[in-house]
């Protein structure tokens, strides 16, 4: 029997399988896998929570200019930054982010996920200490230079912080809860931004005190990363088999002193080891140029760079960094710092629901709805600038548009790239590919944040909003035509899709998963190892079918 006929029978359900399914309906439900049981899930969530404390600090650093520029640009204050200097203060951290994005791939592969997080916190502590001690200089120029150096190091910290915890979350979890854990990064960024907005609202015109609070929090984040076990995948890739066994035991809810043999645990450990050995072998025998030429590498790389382009150039980061200033220029009569707090609250509330939205709607629909809503909000802000009478008749319209823009952006375009970056790259290049993609994305961020004040001066606030709306509209088309759906796919299926170009519909995936789940309940598979072989066989058949289809075309 050919592989193609086997796949057809498995998808459509042949007579033999149907009989077995009916016979197995009266059997008890099989127990949950070790990694999905309560104790294991709590451990995974706790460690991801601890790791994301550093990402919260990154969100605080991103939002710092929004709450501090009013004081820093005051002619009567010791800082007294002019327009050009204030734009550098706001954007230089974005210039440093790409460097952090390049370094993080090297550090993740060399020293591991946990140690990279520890190093990231150390960089953030030094950068924030420079901001705290900057006023100690006697000359304004020296103060300004130290502010820039401190912000540069904070930007380096941001670039270093975004990738490790996402990879860590994907590597310690099973597919069913992977999305929920990966979303922790977006929630952490939103929490950091909201925390900084609240500090700016309650502590006004006290940049030094806000910086001191930020240092204390960064030290707390460093301490939180100390008890985290290293990722089992990284440990096995480096040959630390005993440490990997202990780490996986922890994340599967087992006691470190438990010497019992669990077939499910041993099977998973063997599969991780096999994958790690293959990745290590591929990395040793494959140059960087050869890796980039592989379709499963360059296709997701191009796609992710495109996603980051539309994310950064649609005005998302501009609204976050310059929230208070944009509220003022958009004609908002309310306290601009209070508007910034509303923006932060809207983002974090929306982010909490994003894991469920991505799993229920899928990645593509969420992204399309997000970019469409952002387009409408930006055009409303532009129309309010073109025809001020609109704002006079509806005073709250600019506030509603700004808050809705944040909600829509969080629903997809803001969170989607960070969500998908942990899914789409093969393990052998995951660290370096993540780092390079983040580097390019953060370069876009720096360019937009640095050029926005100049852009606003040249074409006006209303036309700037219209430009961002047009970019968001192009983002709708990009997601619709380019971005594949990864909902319900294993990492292996996603890799095979980019390698073969064969799309698998949601209905097809659901049919296979339902068929296999019912056959498992019927007792067809004698062990988890046999079940894993079925999944691998399906992936192999998909690969061969994709080659056959491409050959016929």
Residues 453-504: tens digit of each pLDDT: 788 888 888 898 899 999 999 999 999 888 887 776 766 677 777 877 665 5
Token readout for 92 is 């230089």
CB 155 within 8 A of CB 96: yes
Q: How far is CA 273 from CA 245, 266, 283, 301, 553, in A?
A: 10, 10, 15, 26, 38
What is the number of other CB atoms lying within 10 angstroms of the CB of residue 277?
13
What pLDDT, on a 0 to 100 scale, did the predictor assign at position 8? 47
Mean pLDDT of 30-35: 75
What pLDDT, on a 0 to 100 scale, did the predictor assign at position 359? 66
Mean pLDDT of 305-313: 89
Q: For residue 419, what pLDDT band results from cuts at 50, 70 and 90?
A: confident
What pLDDT, on a 0 to 100 scale, did the predictor assign at position 552? 40
Rounded to 5 degrees, φ, ψ at 256 are -65, -20
Q: For residue 408, what pLDDT band results from cuts at 50, 70 and 90?
A: confident
CB 43 within 8 A of CB 246: no
Judge if pTM exceeds 0.95.
Answer: no
Is the pLDDT at 507 greater than 60? The verdict is: no
HSE-up of 149 (CA within 13 Å, CB side)? 12
Which of 6-10, 68-72, 225-229, 507-511 shows the highest mean pLDDT? 225-229
Cα separation of 403 and 545, whole Å? Answer: 47
Cβ neighbours of residue 324 closer than 8 Å, sequence gap 6 or more: 66, 67, 69, 70, 200, 336, 337, 339, 340
Cα separation of 4 and 6, whole Å? Answer: 5
What pLDDT, on a 0 to 100 scale, did the predictor assign at position 544? 44
Q: For residue 177, what pLDDT band results from cuts at 50, 70 and 90?
A: confident
Q: Please tell me whether residue 334 adopts helix, strand or coil conformation.
A: coil
Averaged confidence pLDDT in the chain: 78
Cα separation of 342 and 349, whole Å? Answer: 11
Cα separation of 404 and 400, whole Å? Answer: 6
Question: Which of 68-77, 116-125, 270-279, 326-335 has the least mean pLDDT?
Answer: 326-335
Is the pLDDT at 550 greater than 70? The verdict is: no
Percent of the chain with pLDDT over 90: 20
User: Which of 1.10.3720.10, 3.30.300.30, 1.20.1250.20, 3.90.1170.40 is the CATH number of 46-228?
Assistant: 1.20.1250.20
Cα separation of 222 and 83, whole Å? Answer: 35
Cα separation of 195 and 216, whole Å? Answer: 14
Q: Which CATH architecture has domain 291-504?
A: Up-down Bundle (1.20)
Higher pLDDT, 541 or 439: 439
Is the pLDDT at 516 greater than 60? The verdict is: no
What pLDDT, on a 0 to 100 scale, did the predictor assign at position 336? 65
Mean pLDDT of 138-142: 87
Burial class (CB in 10 A: 0-12, 13-18, 19+), 472: buried
What pLDDT, on a 0 to 100 scale, did the predictor assign at position 229? 94
Name the helix (H) or strand (E) containing 521: helix 506-521
What pLDDT, on a 0 to 100 scale, did the predictor assign at position 326? 64
Mean pLDDT of 353-364: 70
Cβ neighbours of residue 528 closer than 8 Å, sequence gap 6 or more: 33, 263, 264, 267, 268
What pLDDT, on a 0 to 100 scale, did the predictor assign at position 327? 63
What pLDDT, on a 0 to 100 scale, did the predictor assign at position 16? 42
What pLDDT, on a 0 to 100 scale, did the predictor assign at position 131? 94
Name the helix (H) or strand (E) containing 524: none
Mean pLDDT of 177-184: 76
pLDDT tens digits, residue range 245-283? Answer: 999 999 988 887 777 788 888 888 888 787 777 666 666
CB 122 within 8 A of CB 66: no
Mean pLDDT of 422-432: 72
Task: Summarize the chain as % helix, strand, coil (round to 5).
Answer: 80, 0, 20
């Amino acid at each position: 029997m050919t592989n193609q006929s086997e796949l057809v029978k498995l998808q459509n359900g042949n007579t033999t399988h149907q009989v077995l399914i009916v016979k197995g309906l009266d059997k008890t439900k099989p127990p949950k896998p070790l990694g999905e049981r309560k104790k294991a899930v709590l451990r995974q969530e706790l460690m991801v929570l601890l790791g994301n404390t550093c990402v919260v600090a990154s969100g605080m650093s991103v939002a710092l200019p929004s709450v501090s520029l009013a004081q820093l640009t005051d002619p009567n204050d010791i800082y007294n930054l002019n327009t050009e200097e204030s734009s550098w203060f706001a954007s230089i951290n974005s210039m440093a982010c790409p460097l952090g994005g390049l370094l993080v791939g090297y550090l993740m592969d060399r020293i591991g996920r946990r140690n990279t997080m520890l190093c990231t916190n150390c960089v953030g502590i030094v950068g924030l200490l420079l901001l705290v001690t900057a006023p100690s200089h006697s000359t304004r120029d020296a103060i300004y230079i130290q502010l820039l150096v401190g912000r540069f190091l904070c930007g380096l910290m941001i670039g270093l912080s975004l990738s490790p915890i996402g990879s860590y979350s994907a590597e310690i979890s099973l597919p069913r809860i992977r999305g929920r854990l990966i979303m922790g990064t977006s929630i952490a960024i939103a929490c950091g931004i909201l925390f900084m907005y609240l500090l700016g609202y309650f502590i006004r015109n006290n940049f030094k005190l806000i910086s001191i609070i930020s240092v204390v929090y960064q030290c707390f984040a460093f301490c939180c990363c100390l008890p985290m076990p290293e990722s089992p995948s990284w440990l096995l890739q480096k040959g630390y088999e005993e440490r990997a066994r202990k780490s996986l035991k922890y994340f599967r809810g087992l006691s470190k002193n438990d010497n019992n043999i669990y077939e499910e645990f041993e099977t998973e450990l063997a599969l991780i080891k096999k994958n790690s050995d293959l990745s290590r072998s591929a990395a040793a025998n494959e140059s960087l140029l050869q890796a980039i030429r592989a379709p499963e590498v360059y296709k997701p790389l191009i796609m992710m760079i495109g996603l980051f382009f539309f994310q950064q150039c649609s005005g998302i980061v501009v609204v976050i960094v310059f929230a208070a200033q944009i509220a003022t220029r958009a004609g908002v009569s309310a306290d601009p710092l209070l508007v910034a707090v509303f923006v932060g609250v809207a983002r974090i509330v929306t982010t909490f629901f994003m894991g469920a939205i991505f799993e229920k709607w899928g990645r593509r629909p969420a992204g399309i709805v997000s970019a469409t809503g952002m387009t409408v909000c930006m055009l409303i802000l532009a129309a309010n600038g073109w025809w001020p009478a609109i704002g006079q008749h509806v005073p709250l319209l600019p506030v509603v548009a700004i808050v809705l823009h944040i909600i829509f952006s969080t629903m997809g375009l803001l969170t989607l790239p960070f969500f998908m970056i942990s899914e789409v790259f093969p393990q052998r290049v995951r660290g370096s590919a993540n780092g390079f993609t983040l580097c390019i994305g953060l370069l876009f961020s720096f360019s937009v944040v640095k050029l926005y004040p100049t852009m606003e001066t040249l074409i006006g606030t209303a036309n700037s909003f219209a430009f961002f709306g047009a970019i968001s509209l192009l983002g709708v088309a990009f997601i619709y035509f380019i971005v594949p759906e990864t909902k319900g796919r294993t990492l292996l299926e996603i890799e095979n899709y980019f390698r073969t170009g064969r799309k698998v519909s949601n209905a097809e995936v659901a049919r296979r998963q339902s068929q296999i789940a019912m056959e498992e309940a019927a007792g067809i598979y004698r062990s988890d190892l046999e079940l894993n072989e079925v999944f691998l066989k399906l992936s192999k058949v998909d690969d061969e079918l994709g080659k056959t289809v491409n050959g016929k075309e």
